Structure 1
Amino acid sequence: MFKNNVGGIDRIVRIVVGLALILCFFLFPAASYRWLFLIGIIPLVTGLLGTCALYSIFGIKTCKR
C-alpha cells in the first residue's frame, strides 16, 4: 500500500509523542483545549505504520531501505 519512509528513531519519537499527547487528553479533562491533544493520533499512527504522507510529498526518507 504505502512505502515505508519513516526510520527507527523517527518512529520511536513519533510513538512517544503521540502517546504523550493522548495521555494528556485523559489527564486534563477540564481543559478547554482538550480536543487538541487528539492530534497525537497522527504521529502515533504514522509511527506504528512506518509511513508518513508529508514525507512522501516532500520526498523525505529517514529509513535505510
Structure 2
Amino acid sequence: MKTNVGTLDRILRAALGVALLWLAFASGFAVMDASAPKWIAAAAGLVMLGVAAVGTCPIYTVLGIRTCKV
C-alpha cells in the first residue's frame, strides 16, 4: 500500500488517537462508565493510532484522497 497520509495529518491522527484512549480509560467521565461508549472510543483511538503509524488510510484510498506530497 502506498502512503496517502501526510505528516500533519499523521500528527493530528496520533493526537486524536491518544485523546480517545485517554477519554475511554482515564477520563473519569460518567458517560464512559457504560460499556459501549468506552469501547467505541477505544477502538476509534486504536484505528487513529494505527493509521498514523502506517501512513495509509483505507478510506482515503477508496476516495482517492492524498494529504502527502507526491
TM-score under structure 2 length normalisation: 0.82
Q: Which runs of 4+ in 1 moved over 2 A?
A: none
For the aligned residues, what is the CA RMSD?
Answer: 1.5
> How many Å apart are 1:9 and its aligned residue?
0.5
Aligned residues: 64
TM-score under structure 1 length normalisation: 0.87
Unaligned runs of 5+ in 2: none
2:41 aligned residue: 37
Q: Is 1:6 the counterpart of 2:5 in the alignment?
A: yes
Q: Of Structure 1 and Structure 2, which has the larger fraction of its residues in helix?
A: 2
Identity over aligned pairs, percent: 38
Unaligned runs of 5+ in 1: none
Cα distance between partner residues in 1 of 2:3 and 2:64: 12
